[in-house]
Structure 1
């Protein structure tokens, strides 16, 4: 992306002339406090928001130029999306929820469990096996824990056969153990299939553990962009400070030198 900006109708400038390149196969974590622009950036990358100005290209396409619903659906078909909330159909079986992941390449009728082809049902079971949930394929989605629901959502995403994965706070609703398991799972799937992985997180320790590169946003601008091995904890601390806190800390430093 080059000089990408996003201004909302009320005048809020959420993104300010961002210049970023994310390479195929990279594992990138986007960090920032509330209002930093990270969620807006995620929505622009996935085509749920149009940029106001600049140039943005994902997998050879500019999502902001895809005006027709069919074009946007085809674009998102190649992006495996994982959200904080699982968006499962609670009154349907786990297997049926996973079969819905094939909707981008099959008609609704063909993904309905009772009449879905054997090949499609086998593929769904393989996806469930990959996330360790094959034993509950016949259970209702409403019977699962939060961590289990996220695993099923990931199995559904696998059914898309995506070219890249984007995750928006995928472990925010989970306890630390379940969150670690989900991150382990997502990273391993991306490595196995050589997929680009972009995730929005707020836990700095998780970002350092699972990211290869961290992009830190502050007030719509890139404040930090480094490979994880070169990042200092102090840089992450400063990323989450407000502008006023940063000014006060710098002033304290000046006073401390007796100037």
Structure 2
């Protein structure tokens, strides 16, 4: 299980946009955390920094005992990324290939390309891929083309592919944004159950308050690159979450009216 330590982390883009402002966060091994906020709050930037797709501008970031800013070799970076299972809003499947082949690609971090090609993949690897598909309820369509699937089915296949990585932490960026409510709930149920079964740290990036309250154990709320909320779900009021979607001027006005607590 991975832990996350962030101290005074900032991210400033070349155009001067300050996306993250001196964030201090600690996420323990096995925690299930939702990072919540509106578009432009900094949550996607935080996701990219935590997964080493963006470099932080300042501060200290450590994940699973590794400091991404210290990586000098491609192998260090690829090993780090292999331990983090990623689930995205878009499924990134290869649509002209079979479901089984897409799942086998999840083993690329530990196997050369030729060994994950379905016709010549080992029986052991193929069995592992079928077990991953069974875990997500998709074993019956292993031979189908990925382009034949619904959105919810594609996300399940993407999760099976992620299972093939054998990750030590799962990070999901808006994993249900493209799905209808029923399929979205099924995907969140699946992700949470996989993490609990394997004792994995789970960090999901969301913008839906109801989903965050239902599936998070702890919510970290961002607004304009700053942490406004960091609490366990049992201690959070809906009015606190609503201020994440307000501008600073609106927050202050509500505070003056006595409707919400202003600030952290």
Query: TM-score, normalised on structure 1?
Result: 0.96
Q: 1:55 aligns with which of 33, 46, 60?
A: 60
How do residues 237-256 of structure 1 correspond to structure 2 at under 5 angstroms? 237-253=242-258
Shift of 1:73: 1.1
Cα deviation, residue 179, structure 1: 0.2
* Contiguous gaps of at least 5 residues in structure 1: 255-259
Partner of 2:124: 119
Structure 2 residue 107 is matched with structure 1 residue 138: no
- Residue 72 (structure 1) shift: 1.3
Instruction: Provide the rounded CA distance (Å) in 2 between the counterparts of 1:231 and 1:162.
Output: 30
Q: Is the 8 A contact 1:14 1:40 kept in 2?
A: yes
Residues 33-52 of structure 1 aligned to structure 2 (within 5 Å): 33-52=38-57
- CA distance in 2 between counterparts of 1:147 and 1:35 reads 26
| 2:74 corresponds to 1:69 | yes
1:34 CA displacement = 1.2
Residues 49 and 64 of structure 1 are in contact (CA less than 8 Å); yes or no, is this contact kept in structure 2? no
Residue of structure 2 in register with 1:89 after alignment: 94
| CA distance in 1 between partners of 2:258 and 2:239 (Å) | 14
Post-superposition offset of 1:251: 4.3
Distance in 1 (alpha carbons) for counterparts of 2:213 and 2:14? 36
Q: Which sections of structure 2, spanning at least 5 residues, go unmatched?
A: 1-5, 260-264
Q: Does 1:157 align with 2:168?
A: no
SS of structure 2 residue aligned to 1:105: coil
CA–CA distance in structure 1, aligned partners of residues 158 and 97 of structure 2: 13
> What's the Cα RMSD here?
1.1
Residue 253 of structure 1 deviates from its aligned partner by: 4.8
In 2, Cα distance between equivalents of 1:202 and 1:118: 41
SS in 2 for 1:82: strand
Q: Which residue of 1 aligns with 2:8?
A: 3
Shift of 1:36: 0.9
Q: Which residue of 2 aligns with 1:257?
A: none
1:197 and 2:202 correspond: yes
Q: Distance in 1 between matches of 2:230 and 2:150?
A: 36
